[in-house]
Amino acid sequence: MTENDSGQMFQGVKRAVVAGTGSAVPAKILNNADLEKMVDTSDEWIVTRTGIKERRIISEGESTASLAIEAAEKALKDAKVSAKEVDLIICSTITPEMVFPATACFVQDGIGAAHCCAFDLAAACSGFTYAVASAASFIAAGQHKTALIVGAETLSTITNYEDRGSCILFGDGAGAMVLKAGDDQERGVLYSSLHADGGGWQTLSCQAYGSRNPVSRPLANPDSVYMEINGRETYQLAVRRIVDLVNESCRVCGLSIDDIAMIVPHQMNARIIESVVKRLRIPDEKMYVNIDKYGNTSSASIAIALDEALHNGHLKKGDLVALVAFGAGLTWALNLIRL
Ligand code: UT7
């Protein structure tokens, strides 16, 4: 393996090895027939253009932290790791429990992890891949031994259910992963490549209530409390960025695309994923897709999909998996992990 400018190779150091995963979604289903009653759309349009059939939406009493805690507890159980062993929690979210404190602190309290640091990370749909890379770096540096990373979102709280161009896409959910320090150089997070282009921030944003549009001032545009997306632009950029990231990673790591057992992409649109499959010239079954059930859950989507693939037999120990995402920021990122 060689090194390049943008990627990070973990060599001759502690590896961050996947010890367990978990996920949680709300019980309440919002299907395409429900959306037909809310906006001028149809099941046929949504399925054809996005591949989404239904998504999960929180009910009274559920929140980003409650989903994150449930996913985290399942991941700890799967990893056979006690909360007391966790020394680092990173929660990726753009729909935090509160402005502050960090949702990661609610997770720490919820699971009873007494001795650890906990912080949130905001890289939107690329958040989970950024969190994997961050935790792997902390572990490689010897600073932490057992990391819990969570991608948790309640996008329904910032979705405009009067905008048919966006409300059909998003859902709520959380996924978690336990990463443990290991000495086997062939296993764990082998490579990460993280990117950002803040110049493209207007492509995907939610502008209230940050310091630019504070709660103390009437909003110039009341709809700025909701996510605004330029769907077409995102679509085209996402395909290009994801294909380039996978090809670049293979080249830098001296791998062929055939060495990757499965790609677990951010679930943003089934057609985007199909375009990536075509351009990479890989069989359909090498790309994990579950967007039909959950829609786009931003930073939770890869974590939920990976948990599902590991527990339904699509992935097994020893497989090389690529997690790859594109989203607001703009941000895009990839992790190569030997399970
Ligand atoms: O994870 C990051 C966030 N995710 C994204 O940003 C999503 C990425 N983009 C996409 O998934 C797709 O671009 C969309 C699903 C959002 C839109 O699909 P599209 O094939 O790019 O459609 P379009 O925006 O080009 O719109 C085509 C037509 C328009 O009508 P006209 O102007 O041709 O008459 C839209 O008004 O489809 C219309 N349209 C709809 N029709 C029925 C847009 N939304 C809907 C809808 N139902 N829900």
Ligand 1 centre from 148 Cα, in Å?
Answer: 36
How much is the average pLDDT of 217-242? 95
Residue 184: Cβ-neighbour burial (10 angstroms; 0-12, 13-18, 19+)? exposed
d(C-alpha 264, C-alpha 149), whole Å = 17
Residue minimizing CA distance to atom 38 of ligand 1: 165
Ligand 1 centre from 270 Cα, in Å?
Answer: 13
Least Cα distance to 191 among 334, 20, 19 occurs for 334
Q: Is 150 helix (H, G, I), strand (E, B) or coil?
A: strand
Higher per-residue pLDDT: 9 or 216: 216
Specify the pLDDT at position 1.
40
Assign 337 a pLDDT band (cuts: 50, 70, 90). very high
User: What percent of the residues of the chain are helix, what percent strand, and what percent coil, each to the nearest 5?
Assistant: 40, 25, 35
Residue minimizing CA distance to atom 12 of ligand 1: 231
pLDDT digit string, tens, across residues 109-146:
999 998 899 999 999 999 999 999 999 999 999 999 99
Least Cα distance to 319 among 311, 328, 310, 327 occurs for 310
Ligand 1 centre from 122 Cα, in Å?
Answer: 25
Specify the pLDDT at position 4.
47
| pTM of the predicted protein model | 0.96
Ligand 1 centre from 339 Cα, in Å?
Answer: 36
Work out which ligand 1 atom sits closest to the CA atom of 168: 48
For residue 199, what are the contacts with CB-CB under 8 A and spacing of at least 6? none
Ligand 1 centre from 171 Cα, in Å?
Answer: 17
pLDDT over 70, % of the chain: 97
* Residue of 170, 240, 269 to mutate, ligand 1, most atoms within 8 A of C-beta: 269
The domain tally of the chain equals 1
Give catalytic residues, as residue numbers: 125, 266, 296
Q: What is the CATH number of the domain that holds 124?
A: 3.40.47.10
pLDDT digit string, tens, across residues 17-30:
999 999 999 999 99
Residue minimizing CA distance to atom 13 of ligand 1: 231
* Residue of 36, 128, 160, 232 to mutate, ligand 1, most atoms within 8 A of C-beta: 232
How much is the average pLDDT of 239-268? 97
pLDDT digit string, tens, across residues 61-100:
999 999 999 999 999 999 999 999 999 999 999 999 999 9
d(C-alpha 24, C-alpha 65), whole Å = 11
- Tokens 């996913």 locate to 71
Ligand 1 centre from 45 Cα, in Å?
Answer: 9
Q: In this structure, what token pair is assigned to residue 193?
A: 């490549």
Residue minimizing CA distance to atom 36 of ligand 1: 165
- What's the domain range around 252? 1-339
Does residue 6 have a pLDDT over 70? no
Specify the pLDDT at position 285.
96
The binding-site residues of ligand 1, defined as CB within 6 angstroms of any ligand atom, are 41, 45, 49-50, 125, 164-165, 168-169, 204, 229, 231-232, 234-235, 268-269, 296, 327
